[in-house]
Each structure stands twice: as C-alpha cells, then as structure tokens.
Structure 1
Amino acid sequence: MTSSATQGESSATRMPAIKVPAGLTFTALVLGIFAGWMVSGSAIAPRLAAIAGPIGKLWLQGLTMTILPLVAALLFNGVTETVAAARAGPMARRTLGLIFGFLALSATLGGVLTPLLLQLFPVPRDAAAAIGAQSVDPGPVPGMADFLGSLIPSNIVKAAGDNAMLPVIVFFALFALASTRLAEGPRRTLGSLFEGLAGAMMVMIGWVLAIAPIGVFGLAFSVAAGSGGAAIGALAHYVAIVASIGGVMFVIAYPLAILGGRRKPGAFVRAMLPVQTVALSTQSSLASLPAMLGACRQLGVRERTGEFVLPLAVALFRATGPGMNMAVAVYAAHLTGVVLTPTVIAAGVLTAFATSLGAVSLPGAISFVTSCGPVAIAMGVPVEPLALLVAVEMLPDLMRTVGNVTMDVAITSVVDRLEGDSEPARTVH
C-alpha cells in the first residue's frame, strides 16, 4: 500500500531548502537587550532607540507580508494531500482520524490550559510593559452569532485585505476540497500553482530571516533601552509557558502507546530514548524518521504499518504544534492587553487546527512564522511581540520536536493494534 504521502513525496519535501541563522539571531537578541539595557535611562537612549526601532519594524513588516499568501498555499497543499492519503485505504483513514483527533485536542488544550497557566504564573508586569509595548484598546466583543457569521466571507478579496485570517482559511480549505473533484489535468495545474506559490513565499521568508539578526537586534535594543532588563524575564517566562503546553502532549503520548497501542511501559520508554536523542540533536521530525522506524520494530509494530503510518505522520502530524501555537498567541494577547473572550479563543483554536494541516517540516523560525502568525491574526492579537519571540524559538522548538516524534510512534502503535483487531481470524484446516 503506497501513496505519495506515505513515501514522503508531500509538498514538504519539495519546498526550497532554507537556512535560518537561529544561533546568530539568538545572539543578536542577547546583544540587543544587553546594549539597550546599558544605555537605558541615559539621555542618548531615546535617540538610539529612534534609529534601531524603525529598522526592526521594517524587518517585521517584511516578515508579516508573506503570512497570508503562504498560509493559503500551504493549506491548499495540506488539504489536497490529506484527501489523497485518505483514498489509500482503511489504514490511511484510521491514521488520519487519529491525527485529526489529536490535532484538535492539542489546539483545545492550548486554548484552555495557557490562560490557566498565566493566571497561576502571570506575565511579569514590567515584562508585559516591555515586550507588549503596543497594547490595543479592547473593541466590542462579538457574540457567538457574529463569530459564526464571520466564518464565511462574502468577499474573499476584502477578507484578505482586512487580514481576516479565519474566513480566508475557510475559503481556501473549501477551495482545496473542491479542487479534488476536478479532472486530473486541472487538478494538477492548481496543485502546481499553489506549490509554486508556497515555494516562492518560502524563499521570500528565507530572505527576510537571513537578516533576522539585524532586525531582532534593532527591536531588542529599542525595547531594552526603554525598559531595561525587564525583557529578559518576559522571554524566560514565555519559554517556560509555551514549552509546558508542548510537554502536556509529550506526556499524553505515553498512556496513548501503553493503553491504546498495548505496548509495555518500559519497552516504550526504552524504544523512544534513541528517537528523542536524535530529535533533540537535529530538531527535525523528518531527520528522526529512521530512528522512529527502528523504535517501531523494537516495539513489535508490523513492518507494513510502520512504513506506511510514520511517513504519513511526519508529513501531516505535528502533535504539539496547534497547542504551542495557541500558547504563543495567548501569551502575545496577555502582553498586548487583548481580551480573550470565548469567541476569540475559538477563532484561535480553529485557526491553529487548520494551519497545522499545512505545516511542513522546516526550521523552527519559519514554522513559527507560518503557524503562530495566522493564529495571532485570527485572534486580533498584534504580531509585533512575535518578532522578538521568534528569536528564542530554538528553545521551545526542542519540546516541539521531541513531543512530535514521541506522538508519531505512539500513533503508529495504536494504528498497528487497530489493524490487528480488524484482521479476520484465520481458519486452520
């Protein structure tokens, strides 16, 4: 049983290779905060911040302008590839059902647990004033009827121009589903168009992120020059909150494999250690695939199940993604004073779930832009804080990768057990 998805021939594997200077960007963040801290309170600080601030803002605008077209293209590719995978047979449909269920669970946990964590461990007041300097005035709170009515755009061009992320996502998801009903020629043409659009946007993001050290230094300097060292506390607090949401999905993988996959606890723990080591060292689910296949063999998973489910999971399943992306947006909302009503949370959860279908195996900084940006926009949260938060993404990205590979193997063990239960008993003559 083979398909393009199962063999790794998803749009993710055809994206342009992009290198992100993550270490240099993190260094620029540290240097920017330190330099701004050193001059904070001095007479020269406002003049230097007036120079550094616009440089950082210009870089942020370059990053933001690619979000909407990239999300549309990735979502189109993700939906069409999911439909193609579902046609591969019962095992594919079982796998996709589990994937969708846990993506929805992840997004919901992020929307529910993050506000609770921030009530228990609030954002430091000085830190909120530092990073979330551009707070927003709370507007009228939409009711549930208004929220549901806004999901279907009457004018998709106007919705895109207004940065109405959720209606745009609904439109392109339906558009992608409709394209799967076309004849092969037009369907391939549309697929090539959106794949090319996604690739071009990736190249543009690569250009912008190549100069991330300059932009992040400018933003960090202007923030620290006005607030001193308060930004350091905010970033450390942010990493802890977001990583803890990913940690919840990581922990869920163990009872899932033990109870759902009927694997022995000790065996699963031992099998996952080499996989998690590779994941931590590479920060890539795709690079961890050989180790995951080895773990499945060690756990007694059927060869055909592992070879089918794991590549499909690597292509489509980011278990920690929706929850951690929601955590980022909720944290940014707390920084900027956005009121988190149930409809705002619902918009974020739906967007986090939908954009995870188009997520691709890319460096953490790029995935951060393509996944967290749309969630924040859908919730009405200013994206300015994300420009600094992306500089420390290499830290929570460790939890993202480890949680994802652990859930991939857990899901594979569950599918293998379901396949065994569904196989008819053989009669011996």
Structure 2
Amino acid sequence: MAWLRSLSVQVLVALAAGLAVGTAAGMGGDAVHQAVGGVEALGGLWLNALRMTVVPLIFCVLVTGIAQMADAAATGRLAARALVWFAGLLLLSALLSLGIVGLTLDLWPVSAEAAQALRAGAQAPAIGAQTAPDFAAWLRGLAPANPIAAAAEDAVLPIVVFAVFTGFALTRLPDGRGRPLLDVIGALGDAMILIVRWVLLAAPIGVFALGLGVGMRAGVGAAGVLAQYVVITSLAGLAVTLVAYALGPFVGRARLNLWARATAPVMAAAFATQSSLACLPAMIERTRDVLGAPAKVANLVLPLAVAIFRMTSPAVNLAACLFVAAVMGIEPTPLQYAGAVAVALAVSVGSVGLPGQVSFIVSVAPICLALGLPIDLLPILLAVEVVPDIFRTLGNVTGDMAVTTILAREKASEVEPTQA
C-alpha cells in the first residue's frame, strides 16, 4: 500500500515497535539491558547527525527568508500590506498558543511519574534550577558580540538577530552586490537540508533505537505522555484554524455560505495532502471564482502566502516546546518566553517550504534552545507529528485564504470612492 511508503508512517511504526520491544526488554536481565544500550547508541548517533545541521540551517534559511520578504515588500503596496497582515497574524498565533497551552497544562498537567520516566527513557540531560536573567544583560545579549561563539553556545536568539540583519542588509547593497552572497548562503542552506533529508532516511532506525530505550525505562507510560502531546499540539493548531476561519466572514466580510463553500474543498485537500503548496491551485480558483477576489489580488497574495506565511507555525511549535518544558519540569522566565516568541516568528518565515520532518526540527529546536530546553525529546515527538501536522496545514490554508479575502475587500473599498 502507498501509505506504508510514507516516511511519517514508517517513523510512527518504528516508534511503536521500539516502545513495545523496549518495554519487554525492561523485564530482562543485565545482558538484555546492555544489548539495548548498544542499540540506543545508534539512536544517539542519529540524533547528533540531526543536531549538527541545526545552527547553520537556522542561519541560512533565515537570511534567505528575510531577503525574500524584503524583495516582496519592494514589489508594491499590496505585497507590503500582505506582509503586515502576515506579521500580525503570526504574532497572534504565538500569543494564542501561550495562553491556550498554558491553561491546558494547568488543567491537565503532565504526570510527574510519566514525565520522569520519559526523561530517563530519552536520556535527556538533567537541567539545574534556572535563575531569572537580568533584563539589561538579556538586552545586551540580543546582538552577539561574537556570532561564531553564539553559534557554538547554541545561543539561538542572538543568531536570529544576526541573521535578520544580514538578510535585510544583503538586499540593500547597491548594484545587486549582495546577490552572490545570498546565492552562497542559499546553497549552503540547501546543502544542510539535503543532509537532513539523508539523515531522515534513517529516521525509522534512529527512532526505533531511541524508542527502545524509552520503552525500557518508561514502559507503556510513555505512550500516554505522547498521546497527551498530540492532543495539546493539535489543540493549538485547531485554535488558530478557528481564528483563521472566522477572519474570512468577520473581517473579510465574505458571506458565510460562500466562505464555507470556498474553503471546504481546500481544507479537504489540506487534510489529504498536508501540503499548502499542493493546495495553492485550489486556493486561487476558489478565492477568485467563489469569493470574487480580483485576480490581481489572489494571484499575488496567495503565492506569497504559501512562500513565506504559515499561520499555525508559531502556535504549534511553541506548544511543542511548552510541552517539553512541562516534561522537563522547567518553568521558563518571562524573558525566555519573549525570546521564544521572537524566535518562533522568525523561524516560521525561514522554514516555509521545507519538508514536514525537516521543518519540524528546524522550527522547534531553536525555540527549545531559546527556552533553555534540551532537544533530545524532539526525535520522539517527531514520530507522532502526523496528527498535529494535519492541523498545521488546515490552519495555514485557511489563513492564506482569509488574508487574501481581507485584502480584496480593502482593495474594493479603495476603488469604490474613486468610481463614485
């Protein structure tokens, strides 16, 4: 069957098999435990292979993504206004997630026993008590005195700041002098993505090896924690989807029956493909023919949205990181939350267009690092990302169509007085 060839399905099956075999191995003797430890080392090797690409990939995709945004803003007022809507909705997505996930975890906390077992199973490093950083020191640290040292120390927020400035600066150099360097950085980013794809080819093996250790130490309790993760991250994606869906009729002034008729087939395609790009032709057709958006607006805004806008990205990525914090028993400081939101907004732009498994690592790992969290749990969470990814795509395509509808209404309101 075709679905068995899906990497996401293979990774999920590998995790289930690893947890089951590991749970059985936990009842064995020392020889069995040593054998599991040997296999687990293979999972550690696979995780380190992913780790080595994170920092250079973050820098490269941010520089190229920011440059793409700057180029788009220069193409005209419509594109610039679209970018303003994109930025505002991404910030709303992040803040909505912080509120909903925080409340959900208060009402439905992660079991202390299950969290401890999952930490031990994933062999996540112990983290000492955190002290609230001094605001002045945090503010000074936003601009890295030494970007290389910041990269070596996994100081993600300064790297993001450096990448954003670099991306904008390269687009402002006269006579296109920044284009050759952008091409080099883009090529390096593509090379990192290729490496991640190679590493992900071995994801079923790596996740099985890691799941083996989790199952041996955490037992069947790990499955319950992972199910809770799926529910919480899916809830964050669903909340953003509902907000995006409401924007069309309430802000874009689309008639509710037309809005439902326009979005229904697009959302069905999003559910089936989990790809905003694959839904682009349907989005353009339904927005123009059913909602009546001018071709000029739909043909510019929707491809731009697919290229640089993922409305659910900050929400679901932050939800994943807040869940990791809950498992680790860490309460980030307000400044860390602020940094995590900034990183979430930046990487949501830079990681658009990447394959699902690649974008998960690129998007979630930097936010974890900004919150002072280890990323050792991420490969396990990647294995159950299939369901949250559906809600990611549903929210993204709905948000794309909502912004297009809003801009079409604004365009019409500008033209009508002139015609009158």
- The superposition leaves residues 48-98 of structure 1 with CA deviations (integer Å, 9 ceiling, x where unpaired) of 331122111111111011011011010011111101100111111110100
Moved over 4 A (4+): none
| Cα drift, residue 426 of structure 1 | 4.2
Match of 2:201 among 205, 210, 230: 210
Match of 1:33 among 6, 11, 19: 19
2:392 counterpart letter in structure 1:
R
| Residues 427 and 152 of structure 1: CA distance in aligned 2, closer, same or farther (over 3 Å) | closer
Q: How does 1:85-104 map to 2 (within 5 A)?
A: 85-104=72-91
Q: Distance in 1 between matches of 2:406 and 2:259?
A: 12
| Residues 424 and 269 of structure 1: CA distance in aligned 2, closer, same or farther (over 3 Å) | closer
TM-score under structure 1 length normalisation: 0.92
Contact 2:25 2:33 (8 Å CA) reproduced:
no
| Residues 363 and 176 of structure 1: CA distance in aligned 2, closer, same or farther (over 3 Å) | closer
Q: Please give the secondary structure, in 2, of the residue aligned with 1:180.
A: helix
1:35 counterpart letter in structure 2:
V
| Cα drift, residue 124 of structure 1 | 2.4
Q: Distance in 1 between matches of 2:419 and 2:173?
A: 44
| Cα drift, residue 305 of structure 1 | 0.9
| Cα drift, residue 263 of structure 1 | 0.5
Q: Please give the secondary structure, in 2, of the residue aligned with 1:65.
A: helix
> Which residue is 2:28 aligned to?
42
| Cα drift, residue 338 of structure 1 | 2.2
1:52 counterpart letter in structure 2:
V
Contact 2:171 2:179 (8 Å CA) reproduced:
no
- The superposition leaves residues 340-362 of structure 1 with CA deviations (integer Å, 9 ceiling, x where unpaired) of 21112111111001111212223
1:132 counterpart letter in structure 2:
R
The range that moved more, 285-294 or 34-43, is 34-43
Q: Distance in 2 between matches of 1:272 and 1:132?
A: 41
> Which residue is 1:4 aligned to?
none
Q: Distance in 2 between matches of 1:85 and 1:185?
A: 16
Contact 2:114 2:225 (8 Å CA) reproduced:
yes
Contact 2:62 2:164 (8 Å CA) reproduced:
yes
Q: Distance in 2 between matches of 1:28 and 1:314?
A: 32
Q: Distance in 1 between matches of 2:111 and 2:354?
A: 32
Contact 1:130 1:231 (8 Å CA) reproduced:
yes
Give yes or no for the alignment of 1:227 onto 2:214: no
> Which residue is 1:80 aligned to?
67
Q: Distance in 1 between matches of 2:217 and 2:160?
A: 38
Q: Distance in 1 between matches of 2:419 and 2:385?
A: 56
Give yes or no for the alignment of 1:293 onto 2:284: yes
2:95 counterpart letter in structure 1:
T
The range that moved more, 42-51 or 75-84, is 42-51
Q: Distance in 1 between matches of 2:402 and 2:416?
A: 24
| Cα drift, residue 364 of structure 1 | 1.7
Give yes or no for the alignment of 1:150 onto 2:141: yes
Structure 2, gaps ≥5 residues long = none
> Which residue is 1:416 aligned to?
408
Contact 1:284 1:361 (8 Å CA) reproduced:
no
> Which residue is 1:15 aligned to?
none
| Residues 426 and 174 of structure 1: CA distance in aligned 2, closer, same or farther (over 3 Å) | closer
1:322 counterpart letter in structure 2:
P
Q: Distance in 2 between matches of 1:104 and 1:178?
A: 24
The range that moved more, 32-41 or 159-168, is 32-41
Q: Please give the secondary structure, in 1, of the residue aligned with 2:276.
A: coil
Give yes or no for the alignment of 1:404 onto 2:374: no
Q: How does 1:233-272 map to 2 (within 5 A)?
A: 233-272=224-263
> In proportion to residue count, which structure has more helix?
2
Q: Distance in 2 between matches of 1:153 and 1:112?
A: 30
Give yes or no for the alignment of 1:346 onto 2:333: no
Match of 2:385 among 357, 380, 393: 393
Give yes or no for the alignment of 1:113 onto 2:100: yes
Q: Distance in 2 between matches of 1:427 and 1:247?
A: 41
1:240 counterpart letter in structure 2:
V
> Which residue is 2:360 aligned to?
368
Q: Distance in 1 between matches of 2:130 and 2:399?
A: 39
| Cα drift, residue 137 of structure 1 | 1.3
Q: Distance in 2 between matches of 1:32 and 1:25?
A: 10
| Cα drift, residue 235 of structure 1 | 0.8
The range that moved more, 202-211 or 104-113, is 104-113
2:254 counterpart letter in structure 1:
R
2:91 counterpart letter in structure 1:
A
Q: Please give the secondary structure, in 1, of the residue aligned with 2:129.
A: coil
| Residues 427 and 286 of structure 1: CA distance in aligned 2, closer, same or farther (over 3 Å) | closer
Q: Distance in 1 between matches of 2:164 and 2:315?
A: 21
Q: How does 1:267-286 map to 2 (within 5 A)?
A: 267-286=258-277
1:364 counterpart letter in structure 2:
G
Give yes or no for the alignment of 1:161 onto 2:149: no
Contact 1:365 1:394 (8 Å CA) reproduced:
no
Q: Distance in 2 between matches of 1:185 and 1:249?
A: 39
| Residues 266 and 159 of structure 1: CA distance in aligned 2, closer, same or farther (over 3 Å) | same
1:378 counterpart letter in structure 2:
A
Q: Please give the secondary structure, in 2, of the residue aligned with 1:291.
A: helix
TM-score under structure 2 length normalisation: 0.94
Q: Distance in 2 between matches of 1:25 and 1:298?
A: 39
| Cα drift, residue 388 of structure 1 | 0.3
Q: Please give the secondary structure, in 1, of the residue aligned with 2:332.
A: coil
- The superposition leaves residues 239-291 of structure 1 with CA deviations (integer Å, 9 ceiling, x where unpaired) of 00011111111000122111211011222122111001111111100000011
| Cα drift, residue 20 of structure 1 | 7.2
The range that moved more, 221-230 or 35-44, is 35-44
Match of 1:24 among 1, 5, 10: 10
The range that moved more, 48-57 or 382-391, is 48-57
| Residues 271 and 424 of structure 1: CA distance in aligned 2, closer, same or farther (over 3 Å) | closer
Q: Distance in 2 between matches of 1:363 and 1:357?
A: 14
Q: Distance in 2 between matches of 1:257 and 1:420?
A: 15
